[in-house]
Chains A and B, each alone.
Chain A
Amino acid sequence: MNTGRIAITGMGAICALGNDVDALTKSLVEGTRGIKPLEHLDLGFPELHFGEVALSNAELVQELKALLGEEFALPLSRTALLALFAALSATREALDENNTVVISASTVGGMDLSERLFADWKAGEMTQARYAAEHPVGSHTSFVADAIGCKAMHTTISTACSSSANAMILGAQLLRTGRAKRVLAGGSDALCKFTIEGFKALSAMDTTGVTKPFSNERNGMNLGEAAAYLVMEREADALEAGRKPLAFFAGGANRNDAHHQTATSPEGNGPYLAMRDALEIAGLKPDEVDHINAHGTGTDNNDITELAAMERLFRKVPQYTTTKALTGHTLAAAGALEAVISIICMREGIVPVGHATSAAITGHTAMPVAQTIRRPLRNVLSNSFGFGGNDTAIILMGS
C-alpha cells in the first residue's frame, strides 16, 4: 500500500471550553478558562474545581435527538452521550457509513450509571440491572458506530490517559496499510464520582482551585470531561472526494516507561522514547517542532519527569503549553481533545496559555508560555501519558 500522508478532514469536540470546535476556538483565542466548581452534575465535591461540559444529561439527550432526528433507547451513560455529540460534529462533512472504522477510547465508560446500580445493589435492590449494559468501556463505541450507521470495524482502546492518542495511531496504521478507507478516532470520558474519588485517593487533585502545571508551586490536577473525534483518511482519498485537509497526522509512538504502576521514572524514559520515536516516524528533527502541547497534569511527578524528557530530547525546549489548565484533565479523551486543540492552534496561528508561572521547577529553566503568542505553527507535538507507564506522543502537521 502506498504510504502517502494521513489527512485529518473532520473534527468535533465537546469540553469545558465549548460544545463545538467554533466555541472551543473562541475560548482558546480569548484565553478563557473552563475550570470552576460543578454546576450541572450532582456529584458533591464543592471544594474542588473541574472542567465540566456545560450541558446536563437531559440537555445532551435533547440536543442529540434533534441532531439525529430520531429517538434512541435510554439509559445511556454520559460518556456515550458526549461521544455521540462530538462524533456527529466530526462526521458532519466526511462520513462514509460503509467504510468508516470507529476507534474510540474511554476509561470510565458507563461508571456514572454503575455508581447508581451499585448503591441500589448494596441496599439489597436489583432494580437498575439494565444500567449494567452501559458499564463496559466499549459500550459507547458500539452506540456511536450504530448511531452513525458504520458497518466497518469498531473498537475501544483503554490505556488510561493516553487512550485516544493511541486510537489515532491505530487509525493511521489501518489507513497506511489499506485496511481502512476512513477512520473516526477519538475518545470520551465523563466526570463521575469514581474517578474523582480515585484521583483524590492518589492525592493527585489540586485543592487550591486551578492546577499550576510546570510550576514549582503545582500541587495536583483538575479533572475534566470531554469527547473529541477526528476523521482520518489518506490524503489522496480526501482530495479525490474534494475534502480539504484540516491538518496531517504526521506520526505517533506509544512507548512504555516500565518503571512503576503510576509514577514515571525520574529521567522520563517512556516519555522520551515516545517523543523521540514519534519524531522519527514523522521524519522530523527535534528542532523542527514549533510547539508542544504537553501532557502537564500539574502533578508533582508528571511535570518534572515530562520536562526532564523534553530537555533530554530538545537542545532548546520548544514553546510549550498545557491546555489541561483550561479544560481539566479529560483522561481517555485528552489525546484526541488536545489533537483538536493543536489543529485549532495551527489554524489560528497561536500558542495558547495554560497556566502562566514565574516559578520554574527547581533544577529546570524551561517554563510554559506565559502569554498567548501569535505565530505560524507548522509542526505540533502532543503528549499523552497514562497509568501503567503508557506514554504516547503524536505529531500534527499544518495543511
Chain B
Amino acid sequence: MSTDSITTLRQDLKAQIISHLNLEGRTVESIADDMPLFDEGLGLDSIDVLELIVLMDKHYGVRIADPKQGREVFQSVATMADHIQANR
C-alpha cells in the first residue's frame, strides 16, 4: 500500500471512530496518528474496545477474535491502520 493510501485509511478511520463512538467535539484533525486511544489520550475504555472490534469487522472486514489482542491493535490510529492493512 502506498503512503497516500495509508494516510487516507488513517483519516477515514479517525472519522469512523468519532462517529461510531459518538465523540462529540472531536475532529479528525484533533486526533494524531500516534495518539494513545486510551487513558490520557482519547480516553477510551473497555467497552469502546468492543465497539472498535465491531467497527473493524463491519466497516473494514477485519475480525479480531480475542479482545486481549485488541489491546495491542487499538493502541493508536496508526496501529489500527497497520492491522487493517495487514489483514484485509
Residues in A lying within 8 Å of B, measured CB to CB: 201-203, 260-263, 301
Contact = CB atoms under 8 A, between A and B. Distances in A.
B50 A203 contact: yes
B45 interface: yes
B65 to A, nearest CB: 9
A301 B46 CA distance: 10
Contacts of B53: 203
A203 B47 contact: no
14 contacts: A201-B50, A202-B50, A203-B50, A203-B53, A203-B67, A260-B45, A260-B46, A261-B47, A262-B46, A262-B47, A263-B45, A263-B46, A263-B47, A301-B46
Bin the interface of chain B by size: under 10
A263 B50 CA distance: 13
Which A-B residue pairs are the 8 nearest by beta carbons? A203-B67, A263-B46, A203-B50, A262-B47, A202-B50, A260-B45, A201-B50, A261-B47
Interface of B: 45-47, 50, 53, 67
A237 B50 CA distance: 52
B39 to A, nearest CB: 13
Given A203-B50, A262-B47, A263-B46, 11 more contacts: A201-B50, A202-B50, A203-B53, A203-B67, A260-B45, A260-B46, A261-B47, A262-B46, A263-B45, A263-B47, A301-B46
Contacts of B67: 203
- For the residues of B in contact with A, the DSSP-based class is helix
Contacts of B50: 201-203
A301 B50 CA distance: 15
Contacts of A261: 47
A347 to B, nearest CB: 40
Contacts of A201: 50
A212 B46 CA distance: 21
A348 B76 CA distance: 55
A374 B8 CA distance: 66
Contacts of A202: 50
A261 to B, nearest CB: 7
B56 to A, nearest CB: 14
A301 B68 CA distance: 12
A263 B67 CA distance: 15
A263 B53 CA distance: 18
B72 to A, nearest CB: 15
B57 to A, nearest CB: 12
Contacts of B46: 260, 262-263, 301
A263 B46 CA distance: 8
B53 to A, nearest CB: 8
Contacts of A260: 45-46
Nearest to B46: A263
A257 to B, nearest CB: 14
A336 B69 CA distance: 37
A202 B51 CA distance: 9
A203 B52 CA distance: 13
A98 to B, nearest CB: 47
A284 to B, nearest CB: 35
A268 to B, nearest CB: 16
Nearest to B67: A203
B36 to A, nearest CB: 18
A260 B67 CA distance: 18
Contacts of A262: 46-47
A260 B50 CA distance: 15
Nearest to B51: A201
Contacts of A301: 46
A355 to B, nearest CB: 20
B15 to A, nearest CB: 24
A262 B53 CA distance: 17
A379 B46 CA distance: 36
A118 B47 CA distance: 27
Nearest to A202: B50
A261 B48 CA distance: 12
A15 to B, nearest CB: 29
A261 B47 CA distance: 9
B46 to A, nearest CB: 6
Nearest to B45: A260
Contacts of A263: 45-47
Interface centre among B46, B47, B53 (most CB of A within 10 A): B46
Nearest to A260: B45
A201 B15 CA distance: 23
A246 B22 CA distance: 53
